[in-house]
Chain A
Amino acid sequence: MTAAVQPALTIRGLTKSFPGIRAVDGVSCDVYPGEIFGLVGPDGAGKTTTLRMLAGVMPPDQGSATVAGSDVVHDPEAAKHDLSYMPQRFGLYEDLTVDENIRFYGDLFGVRANERRARSAQLLEAAGMSEFRKRLAGKLSGGMKQKLGLVCALIHHPKVILLDEPTTGVDPVSRRDFWRILYNLIAEGVAILTSTAYLDEAERCHRVALMHEGKLLFLDTPAKLKSGFAKGVLAILSSDARRMKEELKRVEGISSLVLTGDGVHVVIEDPVRRIPQIKAQLVSAQVPFSEMRQVVPTIEDLFVDAVTSGRSGGQG
């Protein structure tokens, strides 16, 4: 993203507290047209509250936010024409058909009928849902519901799209359709802010911000986040992973050990140089292992390392 392009979404010091908890704590970031920005974090990190404030349905306590050139804090209604928000819960009417839902949202945004028909045909085709137009929304599968939600959210050509955990509970195939539609929107210059609890999904975003306890921990492209991770990850396969994990606890300099189904992930600095030493340790302890190699750290590895070592980088 070049600096010359104006951000579609500007967030500065956004803060919201509920009794006993600071749900969102001074969040600042920019999202540019043609970008998918991922807000990544576990349940309760403050993702939904952030999106609600940006969608103009919840007033913030402090801070400012501009969506498509309108100030959502002072004039939440102004931005709503250029904005689309898909809440976490399926926000469509289950007793209306696919077409009726699309029509309803088209009418609310003042989309002309012929324009709506062309756009919805195109979007439904991309969603693989053309044959379900007469079906009641309540009778759709989880994945289809989410795709319908997206179609309704896009019917008026919004400039900014806010998606709250859009792919939770969606089967992987529908999830791919979903992301394909999002990628196609990029060409239209739309700015997309999506939240997700799936850390693996963060890798699909152009830039990600990791959110934890209301604050942003990191903010960068997934590749840069990973290459900036000073430590490395070794994957060791073993038929007795539990014993191996116990044994590896004796090795110095390991910052974390994660049991997986068929082995252990070891987070350690300079992993390749440490391989011989670790191998020797396991051989002498007679722990069986079949494979040991360095793997690319996942966003989850980064997240856990950041939170456990109390480090808070990026904008906080």
Chain B
Amino acid sequence: MNHDARSVVVEELVKRFGDFTAVDHINLETRKGEIFGFLGPNGAGKSTTIRMLCGLLTPTSGRAIVAGYDVAHDPESVRQNIGYMSQRFSLYNDLRVIENLRLFAGLYDVPRSLVEERIAWALEMANLRGQEKLITGTLPGGWKQRLALGCALLHRPTIIFLDEPTSGVDPISRRQFWDLIHRMSGEGVTVFVTTHYMEEAEYCNRLAMIYRGSMVALGTPTELKHKYMKGELLLVECEPLGPAVEALGSAPDVVDAAVFGNALHLVVGNAETAIPAITEFLRKREINVTDVEKIQPSLEDVFVSLTSEHDPSRNLAVQA
């Protein structure tokens, strides 16, 4: 991987719609061949950012360079050098596999002499050889996704944008798909993934968490879990749960308490001192504690921790 080659450079990018700031001074860089995740809930500003990076929307201010071209000044060149795939809309369900590929080859203006070779390559990559004649609509979800990826890569872009590429797909197809993505990235293609889906985020090399237009965290999934989580996460198994969660709301050192299946998740400042303190606290209230242990926070835990800090109007304390 060439760490000097920057494929996407975003500096102080802003997009306003009237009074509403959809994207608020975002800065980021992706390296060539990197799988970069853009993680946030629906409405956080992900699509607006992507549209600016694809040259479909003009930024209000700031700068974005994609594949070496400025999106504000040369959106056409940007579009010729990127691929875009969203799960839902890119394929025509009533066309055959091969017809979809030919259509996209035409749309991306793949030189005539290269079309057959590229389609063969895409079929091979997507593991769809021999299925050319099938009607796209009848394909299983995982196949469709691979076909959509093949279509988006026909013009051999150096950057590909994926919009929630595997949400709702069965885990096996998802793993196959991500293997494919990792292979593409090995060949030097930068993969820019937007998702609200924490499970998808785990597959990315680096992640930016975005919330209400601003970037709240940036790092590898492991870094995010270690660096950005305010406090540490405890799993508490006890009985009964209802009174326990109610009592813990007023316990010292507990930042957040939530029921999680048959157990509680507690966010505390320091796990080592909290474990005996919590155990004692609950025993005094005649709650039977069977287990208290420190667990690794998930990306979702990190996200909730970051956004509640970011948004003081939200009260995340326990509501009885």
Contacts and interface: CB of A to CB of B under 8 A. Distances in A.
6 contacts: A42-B141, A171-B196, A180-B259, A205-B261, A256-B175, A261-B202
Given A198-B198, A200-B298, A237-B222, 17 more contacts: A42-B170, A43-B168, A141-B42, A169-B42, A171-B43, A172-B304, A172-B307, A173-B314, A180-B259, A180-B319, A199-B171, A200-B300, A204-B261, A242-B183, A261-B206, A261-B207, A304-B171
B264 to A, nearest CB: 10
Interface of A: 36, 41-45, 125-126, 128, 141-143, 168-176, 179-180, 183, 186-187, 197-200, 203-206, 212, 221-223, 237, 241-242, 256, 258-263, 295, 300, 303-304, 307-308
Nearest to A142: B42
Contacts of B182: 241-242, 259
B42 A261 contact: no
With a 10 A CB-CB cut-off, give which of B37, B40, B169, B170 has the most chain A CB atoms.
B170
Interface string B203-237: 11111000000000000111000000000000000
A307 B142 CA distance: 15
Contact of A173 (B170, B179, B304): B304
Contacts of A175: 300
A242 to B, nearest CB: 5
Contacts of A176: 258, 304, 316
Interface of B: 35, 37, 40-44, 140-141, 167-173, 175, 178-179, 182-183, 186, 196-199, 201-207, 220-222, 241-242, 258-262, 296, 298, 300, 303-304, 307-308, 314-316, 319
Contact of B203 (A260, A295, A307): A260
Contacts, number: 131
Contact of A262 (B169, B175, B222, B315): B222
Given A128-B314, A197-B168, A242-B182, A300 B259 contact: no
A183 B243 CA distance: 12
A261 B220 contact: yes
A171 B41 contact: yes
Given A43-B141, A176-B304, A260 B202 contact: yes
